[in-house]
A and B are shown apart, each in its own frame.
Chain A
Amino acid sequence: MGPQHPMTHGLWTLKIKVDGETVVDTEPDLGYIHRGVEKICEARDFTQITTYCDRLCYASANTWSHSYIYAAEDLLGVEVPERAEYIRLIAVELQRIASHLMWLGAYGPDIGNLSIMVWCLREREMMMDLLQELGGSRMHYNFPRIGGVKRDLPHGFSQRAQAKLKLFLNRIQEYEALFDESTVFLVRSQGVGYAKPEEMINHGVSGPNVRAAGVDYDVRWAHPYSVYSELDWQPSVERSSIKGADCYDRYRVRVEEMRMSASMVLQALDKIPGGSETYHEPGDPKIIAKAPSRAPEGTYGSHHFEDSRGESMFYLAGGGEGRGKMPYRVSIRSPMFITIPYAAKCMIGYKVADIPAIMGSFDPCIGETDR
C-alpha cells in the first residue's frame, strides 16, 4: 500500500503479504519525505532551528518546537521565568488537543465515517484560532524562544480560551455519541490490534499508545520538565482488555487526554503568575530571559518531552561551525519512527480491512517520522 494511499496519513509504503484477506507479513518502507533536517540544522544557529522543528510534525508543531527549546536551554544553561513556563504549557496543551483532534478526524475515514472528520476539523479550527492569537501564524507558530516565549498572552485571551474550551468539552460528548454508542464502531475497533505494555516499552513505543494499555507512565511526571507539578492532573490511563490495548482503548485514551489537556489549560489560566490579563511587551524579562548565543565545544544538551504521539527527544552537541553559534550535531528522537514498525507488526494475523483501523489508531505522522 502506498506511497499515495488514503490509509497512510502521509507518505510511506507498507508492503503487505496477504493470504486471502488475512495479513501474513508486513514491512514498512519510510523516507518518502526525508528532508535531512538534522543536516540542515547544523548550518543554522540556535534561534533559526525552531522553525525547522515546527515543521517536523505538521499536526503538532508547538510540541516539537518546545521539545527543541528545552534541549537548547539545557545546552545553553538558561533559567526560564515561571510565567513563560505557564504560557508554554498553555500553548503545548492546546496543541495537544488540536493534534488529537486531527488524529480523530483522520481516524474517522479509516473506518468509514466521514462526518467525524469534518466535525473534528471544525473543533480544530477553534484551537487553531487560539494558537494563532499566541503565535501569529495558523499552523507553524515559531512561538517559543530560548529563555522564554515570543509573546505574552494577548488581551482577552483567557476569556476566549475558557469559552472555547467549555464549548469543546461539550462537543467531545457528540463524538462519543457517534463513536462509543455505535455498535458498528465497537465491532470494528474492539478486539483488534492488541498490544501489551511491556512489549511496547521494549519496542520503544511510548505515550498514549502505552497509556492505553493500563500504564500511567508519562514523561510529564517521570522526568518533570515544566510546571505540570503545579497543576492538578493525572495522566489519562485506559482500563484495557486483558489481552492488551486494542484500537478502542487507544481511541478512548486520546479522548480522555483531550479532556485532561483542556482542564490543564483552564487551571493554568487561573494560576498563571501575574494573572492572565496582564500583558508584557515582547522581550520583557518576565516572559523571556537573556540567553547566550554560543555553546562551546564539548557541551551537550538533551531533553525528553511528552509529545502528543509519544516521547520525543532532542540531543544537541555544541561547538559547531562559527565557533559555537551553531550546534555541531542535532539528533531528533521521533516517536512515530519507532512506533510504525511495531504497529506494522501488530497487524499480522488480522484482516486487510483492519490495517487502516490499527495503523490509524497508533496516530502516525510522517513528517516527524522521516525528518
Chain B
Amino acid sequence: MAGTSDWLDIRGWMESIVGWSMDQVHDLLPSSEIGLGPLGSVNLQGEFASIQGALETFLFTTIMCTIVFTTMMLTLMVVPYIERKFIARLMDRLGATTSLRSLWVGEGHTTAGQWWNQLPFGIGAPIGWVNGMLNSSFGNKSKHVAVDRVHNRGYHGIWFLFPGFFQALADFLKFATKEHMVPTKADRLVFETAPVIIIATTIMVYAFIPFGPHIWAANPELSLVFMMAVFGVAPLGVFFAGWSSNNKYTLIGGMRSAAQLTAYEIPLLISVLAIAVISGSFNILEIVDFQIETSNTWNLFIMPLGAALFLITMIAEVERIPFDMPEAEAELVEGWWTEYGGIRWGLMFAVEMMRAYAACILFALFFLGGWQLPFEDTLVGLPYVGILFDLLANATPGLVVLLLKAYLMFAFFVWVRASLHRVRTDQILEFGWRWLLPASMVNLAVAIFLRLEVWDSTAAGGWPIWAVPVLFGSFILAFIVLAIDEDEDALELNRRMYHTQTLEKASPGTHRD
C-alpha cells in the first residue's frame, strides 16, 4: 500500500525489533536433530520456524495496540483541559488552576509533611531536595497568611505553564477512591454491565483510528464500516444504564438518548458513505492518502456540505450542547447517569470525552487531510522560502499535525457549547428527520456525481481547476445568505420599548401553534 509516510515510523521500528528478536531466538535454538529415543526426534529450530510468523504477528499486534492506547490516553488529557479552560475564558473566568506542585506542598498552613522520608532506603531524598529548592526559589512560606493562600493556587513554579492541566488527573484519582453504591431498587446486573458496554465499545473505536501514517492498531479493508458499527453500539449501553437505574430521570434520559442517536445515526452514516464514495475507498488510511496524494485537495473544499452534516451529526452523537437532551441538567438532574457515582461515573465521563475526541480526530481525518500540513504543496512550491517549509513538513511528524487539528476541532465544539442553548427533544428529532436526512441524501448524490463525472482518474488528473472555487464558494454563499436571513428591522425594533414583532415569529416553535 503506497501510503503517505513520515519519519516517525513506529510500525516499521516495532516490526524490525520483533523480527530481530525472533530471529535471535531462532538462532539460539539448537539446529541439529535431538533424539528422543523411541519418540523419534525433534528439530526445535524447525519447529520454531514454523510458528515464528504467527508469533511475530501476535507480539507485533499486541505492542501496537498498547502503543495506540497509550497515545490515545496521554493525548486525551489535553481534551478536558481545553474544555475547562476555554469555556472558562469564554465566560470571563480563569478555569481550574490546580498544579502538581500542591502534591508535595500542602494547603494554606497545613503542609503535606515530610512524606518522602517515609520511603524506604531513602529513595525519597531527591523529592525532598526538589521541594526545598522550589520552596526556596518560588516558596510559598511567607509571614503573611494571605500570601500563603495565594501562593498555593499553584500559579507559580514551573507549572505556571499549564495551570489546571492536572485537574482531570485529580478528579480521576478522587473518583477512584469513592465508594461504589448501587441503588437498592436497581437491576444490579444490568446496572454494572452498562458502563462496560459503553467504555469497551468506545475504546474499541480507537483500534481503527490512525494517529499518523504509521501509528495504528488495525487496518482492515473496510475499517470505516467497522468503526462506524462499533461507534453505534454505545447508545445501547446508555439505554441499559438509564433503564436499570430505576429512576425517572435516568429512564427519560435513556429514552431520549436512544431516540436521538437512532435519528442521527442515519444521516451520519450517509454522509460518511459520501466520503467513502468521493475518495473511492472504505479504508481510513486510503481516504487520507486520497486527500494528500491523489487529489491534493482536502475533502472539506470538495464537499463542504458533507463536512457540515458530519459535524452536526457528530455533535449530536457525542451528546453535547445543543444536542445534550439525554443529560439535560435543567429538567433531568444529570440525565441517564444520575444514579452513577464513583469510579464508574468517572470512567463514563472520560468516555464522553473520548467520544468527542474521536469525533474531532475523524473530522480531521476525513475532511482536513489528516496529517498533512495545511497548503503544504503550495507552500513548498514557493520560490526561495519553499525549502524551509519543506524542511518543516518533513520534520513534523504526522501525529503532531493530526492532534493539532483535532484539538482545534474540539475547541470549536466548546465554542458551540458556550454560545448555544439546548434544543427540545421533539425539535431535535424534527430537525434530524426533516432536514438532515434529505440534506445528507443530496450530499450523497452530489458526491456520486462528482466522483463519476467531474473526477478524472487518469494519473495526471484530479479535480478540475474550477471544482474547488465553485463548490466551496457556493457553500460559503449559501451560508452567508442563511446567516443574515433575519429581518434586521425587527431586531432594531427589539431594542425599543414597544417593539413590533409579527405574529409569524422569527422561528416559531412548531407544537401547540
Touch between chains A and B, by CB atoms below 8 Å: yes
List residues of A whose CB falls within 8 A of some B CB.
1, 5-7, 21, 109-115, 118-119, 122, 173, 176, 178, 180-188, 190-192, 194, 234, 236-237, 239, 241-242, 248, 252, 256, 260, 349-356
Question: Which 5 pairs across A and B sit closest by C-beta, in order of nearness?
Answer: A112-B422, A191-B509, A356-B330, A118-B91, A353-B424
Residues of B within 8 A of A352 (CB): 252, 331
Determine the distance from Cα of A5 to Cα of B249 in the docked complex, in whole angstroms: 11
Q: Contact partner of A111 among B330, B491, B498, CB < 8 A?
A: B330
Asked if A354 contacts B505 (CB within 8 A), the reply is no
Min CB gap A113→B, angstroms: 5
Q: Is B507 an interface residue when CB atoms closer than 8 A count as contact?
A: yes
Determine the distance from Cα of A119 to Cα of B93 in the docked complex, in whole angstroms: 10
Asked, given contacts A183-B507, A190-B509, A242-B503, whether A115 binds B91 with beta carbons under 8 Å apart, the answer is yes
Residues 479-513 of B, flagged 1 when their CB comes within 8 A of A and 0 if not, give: 00000001000010011011111010111111111
Asked if B498 contacts A237 (CB within 8 A), the reply is yes
Min CB gap B339→A, angstroms: 15
Task: Specify the chain B residue showing the minimal Cβ separation from A173.
Answer: B495
Q: Contact partner of A184 among B325, B420, B426, B486, CB < 8 A?
A: B420
Asked if A112 contacts B321 (CB within 8 A), the reply is yes
Asked, given contacts A185-B421, A353-B331, whether A190 binds B499 with beta carbons under 8 Å apart, the answer is no
Q: Is B406 an interface residue when CB atoms closer than 8 A count as contact?
A: no
Q: Is B171 an interface residue when CB atoms closer than 8 A count as contact?
A: no
Asked, given contacts A184-B423, A353-B325, whether A190 binds B508 with beta carbons under 8 Å apart, the answer is yes
Q: Is B92 an interface residue when CB atoms closer than 8 A count as contact?
A: yes
Asked if B509 contacts A252 (CB within 8 A), the reply is no
Contact size range, B: 35 or more
Given contacts A190-B507, A241-B505, 5 further A-B contacts (CB under 8 A): A111-B330, A112-B321, A113-B421, A187-B509, A353-B331
Q: Is B401 an interface residue when CB atoms closer than 8 A count as contact?
A: no
Asked, given contacts A110-B330, A112-B321, A241-B505, whether A187 binds B423 with beta carbons under 8 Å apart, the answer is yes
Determine the distance from Cα of A341 to Cα of B425 in the docked complex, in whole angstroms: 26
Asked if A112 contacts B503 (CB within 8 A), the reply is no
Asked, given contacts A6-B330, A185-B421, A353-B424, whether A192 binds B491 with beta carbons under 8 Å apart, the answer is no
Task: Specify the chain A residue showing the minimal Cβ separation from B427.
Answer: A187
Residues of A within 8 A of B425 (CB): 21, 351, 353
Q: Contact partner of B421 among A21, A111, A234, CB < 8 A?
A: A111
Min CB gap B503→A, angstroms: 6
8 sampled A-B residue pairs with Cβ under 8 A:
A1-B331, A5-B333, A112-B328, A191-B511, A237-B497, A252-B494, A256-B497, A352-B252
Residues of A within 8 A of B325 (CB): 353
Determine the distance from Cα of A271 to Cα of B333 in the docked complex, in whole angstroms: 49
Min CB gap A140→B, angstroms: 26
Determine the distance from Cα of A269 to Cα of B336 in the docked complex, in whole angstroms: 53
List residues of B whose CB falls within 8 A of some A CB.
87, 90-93, 252, 321-322, 324-325, 328-331, 333, 418-427, 486, 491, 494-495, 497-501, 503, 505-513
What number of A-B contacts does a CB cutoff of 8 Å give? Answer: 128
Residues of B within 8 A of A234 (CB): 497
Residues of A within 8 A of B418 (CB): 114-115
Asked, given contacts A184-B322, A355-B331, A356-B331, whether A349 binds B512 with beta carbons under 8 Å apart, the answer is yes
Task: Name the residue in B321, B501, B510 with the highest tally of chain A Cβ atoms < 10 Å from its Cβ.
Answer: B501
Task: Specify the chain A residue showing the minimal Cβ separation from B93.
Answer: A118
Residues of A within 8 A of B503 (CB): 241-242
Determine the distance from Cα of A1 to Cα of B87 in the docked complex, in whole angstroms: 29
Residues of B within 8 A of A239 (CB): 498-501
Determine the distance from Cα of A113 to Cα of B87 in the docked complex, in whole angstroms: 12
Determine the distance from Cα of A18 to Cα of B506 in the docked complex, in whole angstroms: 30
Residues of B within 8 A of A248 (CB): 505
Determine the distance from Cα of A190 to Cα of B511 in the docked complex, in whole angstroms: 10
Residues of A within 8 A of B499 (CB): 239, 252
Asked, given contacts A7-B331, A122-B92, A353-B331, whether A113 binds B420 with beta carbons under 8 Å apart, the answer is yes
Residues of B within 8 A of A242 (CB): 503
Asked if A112 contacts B331 (CB within 8 A), the reply is no
Asked, given contacts A182-B421, A187-B507, A241-B505, whether A350 binds B331 with beta carbons under 8 Å apart, the answer is no
Q: Contact partner of B512 among A110, A191, A256, A353, CB < 8 A?
A: A191
Asked if B506 contacts A190 (CB within 8 A), the reply is yes
Residues of B within 8 A of A109 (CB): 329-330
Asked if A351 contacts B505 (CB within 8 A), the reply is no
Residues of B within 8 A of A241 (CB): 501, 503, 505
Determine the distance from Cα of A111 to Cα of B513 in the docked complex, in whole angstroms: 20
Task: Name the residue in B421, B486, B491, B512 with the highest tally of chain A Cβ atoms < 10 Å from its Cβ.
Answer: B421
Residues of B within 8 A of A237 (CB): 497-498
Determine the distance from Cα of A185 to Cα of B509 in the docked complex, in whole angstroms: 10
Asked if B509 contacts A192 (CB within 8 A), the reply is yes
Task: Specify the chain A residue showing the minimal Cβ separation from B506.
Answer: A186
Asked if B329 contacts A190 (CB within 8 A), the reply is no
Residues of A within 8 A of B328 (CB): 112, 353
Residues of A within 8 A of B491 (CB): 180-181
Min CB gap A120→B, angstroms: 11
Q: Contact partner of B91 among A114, A184, A356, CB < 8 A?
A: A114
Residues of B within 8 A of A191 (CB): 505, 508-513
Task: Specify the chain A residue showing the minimal Cβ separation from B501.
Answer: A239
Asked if B512 contacts A350 (CB within 8 A), the reply is yes
Task: Name the residue in A122, A237, A248, A351 with the highest tally of chain B Cβ atoms < 10 Å from its Cβ.
Answer: A351
Determine the distance from Cα of A350 to Cα of B93 in the docked complex, in whole angstroms: 36
Asked if A188 contacts B420 (CB within 8 A), the reply is no
Residues of B within 8 A of A355 (CB): 331
Asked if B90 contacts A115 (CB within 8 A), the reply is yes
Residues of A within 8 A of B93 (CB): 118
Residues of B within 8 A of A183 (CB): 506-507
